[in-house]
Structure 1
């Protein structure tokens, strides 16, 4: 059983707990491989916050494009961040948005290792 804290000490606490539950059944070599792939695919909450702030003043929806939500990004772009209300909500919830993206990516990476 590999400890994800040793492999990826920069994870947020909730994300670390979730990722640890995913890698419990992996061998140490598989856990190392998971960590190296996941590290390149995960997004940081600070980046999402920065893009949301930039989107608030310049181009709405950047954070949604960054998180792979193309439809929402286009909606934000054409509606001015849903008249700034959606952008303000994203400013408040940037950690949750990032966590949801990272959970999906962690599942994808683990499924890649199974094949």
Structure 2
């Protein structure tokens, strides 16, 4: 059941899959279902982060940083134009890393909510 649910998560990174399998190995079936429901609602797809980062070239820089909870960096990007677009370009290249770091953080938070 777990593997089929993992396959339904879009753009699942290897680090996430390993973390989910490790965290859920000691959970009951109902805890696994609750964890996966909570986590799937919180996680961000790398494509979403890429889209928000690209909006920084046209609209407002730093939206992606606000979305992943990095408010300080978001404000810095907002007031400096994405650090003169250099930071925005770097974030375009590293969008998967930004999404994965956020998702790992949300994974551990979700496991605490389930009661582990």
TM-score (norm 1): 0.92
Give ranges in structure 2 of 5+ residues lacking alignment.
Answer: none
1:62-111, Cα deviation, whole Å (9 max, x unpaired): 11011111111000000010111110110000000000000000100101
- Within-5 A mapping of 1:53-68: 53-68=54-69
Partner of 2:30: 29
RMSD: 1.3
Contact 1:48 1:98 in 2 (8 A): yes
- Within-5 A mapping of 1:11-50: 11-50=12-51
Structure 1 moving runs of 4+ over 4 Å: none
Provide the C-alpha distance between the structure 2 equivalents of 1:77 and 1:22, rounded to a whole number of angstroms.
36
- Range with greater deviation from structure 2 (9-18 or 103-112): 9-18
- Range with greater deviation from structure 2 (72-81 or 9-18): 9-18
Give ranges in structure 1 of 5+ residues lacking alignment.
Answer: none
TM-score (norm 2): 0.91
Provide the C-alpha distance between the structure 1 equivalents of 2:80 and 2:108, rounded to a whole number of angstroms.
32
Q: How many equivalent residue pairs?
A: 113
